[in-house]
Chain A
């Protein structure tokens, strides 16, 4: 089956100005996302992972133009969203929806669930007005709530239930792509598993495509087909799920994976403990942005920006941005802790 491109991001940059001084001039920029490109195919789940400040949420928001991107293209089915007028963009908001992290903050506390759901349908003219209420009740059932709960207010629901309402709201306009921005991070494990299973069922039922943004690699391994690893505004590695977890190539990906505690006391593994903190995105390190913490870094890494590439030991579609993939693999380069 030919894979259909759904979303193509090219050279996306998102710089936030820092105002300062007496006249409030722009004195510098936070380079939250700095020139990233990737493609999402129809029906798949792509995840973006990374630590706080790596630009994963900013990427999601820039795609939807919740913040206007500084530079770059975001093509949805061939149409560049970044170049559309606000009015034209509104039509596309129906196809691209987002579920936020905090189910307490992302739903208006003064609206009943029914009105939250029908408002979205009203704006996008999804159904004739008299059918919207019925559809709202149907959606509640789809996400595992009960139709009679439609007249309740958000505070009458638990965190997990509220996240289900957020999902129902996203579904109400029949979207094709849903961006899940840390959608299960605020939930307890037992509830998180319920919501993850629901997201998977909905994907099968409605042929949805997900862009899943998360810092939790357990969740990511469970839900994704492909994974993008970001560090300080750049993509450092992109691969199918299996390659990423079983054959990671970038030293940062390796360190990240080794840092996660495994819920099995008998599985003790070599841990790569990175020194220091993530540098500031205002003045990111030159060359490879990871060089300040990388155990393999050389002078070349301080100067040359590594491009994403596929080494001979990597599967097609697996790319990493490191100068020394081969040397690290052969053992020619040893880590220097």
Chain B
């Protein structure tokens, strides 16, 4: 499965950089994020807290807080750079062609309006529907997302609904204008697993039916494995590995990705011992000079600690930001990473002797 194939790319993010001004100096929350979203597919953006995955999605829609600024990069939607649009043009796009669902359905719904009023708003604004038509369409949308007795629920306020129901309402709202792209930022993190299963199923079903492309932001590798076609792994503000779902889970290249998978406790298999990644995520104020994972990486060399690797694309279109897979690698030829062996591209400093 190649990413740079014949597939239609609906959204491409190129070298995105977002900076937040704080009292203690500028924080580069997103620093070099690139990925492609093929039409009708789902891309997962995974990372731990502080990796910049949510800021990436907010940057795409330009919904940053007032101290945040996009300083570099391109966000190409159907070939046009969204970052060059005016606020007015952007507003026409949001909720209409690109819409978003958030983690906290309680805080992202307005508590003083009924569910129906909130769904209607987008319809009247973007589709020029009359109030009456918008109301009828709202009921249809609630039905679409599987809310029982939608004609009654449409008149409910958010507090009258359970967490799972609220998330369904959020989804109904985001689908109101048949968007091309749905950005889902941790849509199931606040929900219980049985409810999560319902919501994931719903998103998938709607995607098949409506042909949307989805950007799925999550920290849960299980959710990624189940919903996504491609994955971008983020670490400390950067995309560090990008590949199709099978390669990422079965042949991850980056030491960070390997470590992440090895430290994940699984419910479906017996594991003897977890292999944790040592140390902590670096503070955004004191980013390491070289590779940002180098202070925690079991394979790091002096090169890794002093020079930042670039995102390199391999013959399958998969990408990795790691010195091991470049010609400049100076360490061993066979690198042991959390008990797994990876072959360095250059053949390493030492020649491997034939047996």
Contact = CB atoms under 8 A, between A and B. Distances in A.
B249 A265 contact: yes
B2 interface: no
B351 interface: no
B165 interface: yes
B267 A220 contact: yes
A215 B194 CA distance: 11
Contacts of A218: 222, 264-267
A219 B193 contact: no
Contact of A197 (B165, B246, B276): B276
Contact of A192 (B165, B193, B263, B280): B263
A164 to B, nearest CB: 11
Contact of A271 (B197, B222, B266, B267): B197
A277 interface: yes
Interface string A178-199: 0000000000111111101100
Given A221-B267, A260-B222, A261-B226, A194 B192 contact: no
B103 interface: no
Interface residues on A, range: 35 or more
Given A51-B192, A259-B197, A262-B268, A190 B165 contact: no
Contacts of A221: 265-267, 270
Contacts of A255: 194
B326 interface: no
Contacts of A256: 193-194
Contact of A222 (B219, B245, B274): B274
Contacts of B200: 261
Contact of B192 (A188, A257, A262, A278): A278
Contact of A52 (B192, B250, B263): B192
Contacts, number: 129
Nearest to A222: B265
Interface string A193-217: 1101100000000000000000111
B193 A215 contact: yes
A266 B246 contact: yes
A127 to B, nearest CB: 31
B271 interface: yes
A263 B261 contact: yes
A274 interface: yes
B49 A257 contact: no
Contacts of B201: 271, 273
Given A193-B275, A222-B274, A277-B162, A160 B280 contact: yes
A263 B193 contact: no
A232 to B, nearest CB: 12
A271 B192 CA distance: 15
Which of B196, B267, B276 has its CB near the most chain A CB atoms (within 10 A)? B267
A190 B265 contact: no
B76 interface: no
Contacts of B8: none
Contacts of A2: none
B228 to A, nearest CB: 8
Nearest to B195: A277
B48 A188 contact: yes
A52 to B, nearest CB: 6
A259 B265 contact: no
B220 interface: yes
Contacts of B198: 273-274
A277 B146 CA distance: 13
A162 B266 CA distance: 25
Which of A194, A216, A255, A257 has its CB near the most chain B CB atoms (within 10 A)? A194
Contacts of A260: 193, 222, 267-268
Which of A160, A193, A255, A267 has its CB near the most chain B CB atoms (within 10 A)? A193
Contact of B267 (A161, A197, A217): A217
A260 B270 CA distance: 16
A245 interface: yes
B78 to A, nearest CB: 29
A193 B265 contact: yes
A266 B179 CA distance: 30
Nearest to A192: B263
Nearest to A293: B194
Contacts of A191: 276, 280
A266 to B, nearest CB: 7
B225 interface: yes
A220 to B, nearest CB: 7
B245 A190 contact: no
B164 interface: yes
A264 interface: yes
B82 to A, nearest CB: 30
Interface string B178-216: 000000000000001111111011000000000000000
A197 B275 CA distance: 9
Interface of B: 48-49, 162, 164-165, 192-198, 200-201, 219-227, 245-246, 249-250, 259-268, 270-271, 273-278, 280-281
Q: Which 8 A-B pairs have the closest CB atoms?
A: A261-B222, A193-B263, A193-B276, A188-B48, A51-B192, A190-B277, A222-B265, A259-B197
9 contacts: A189-B260, A189-B263, A190-B48, A256-B193, A256-B194, A260-B268, A261-B227, A262-B226, A262-B268
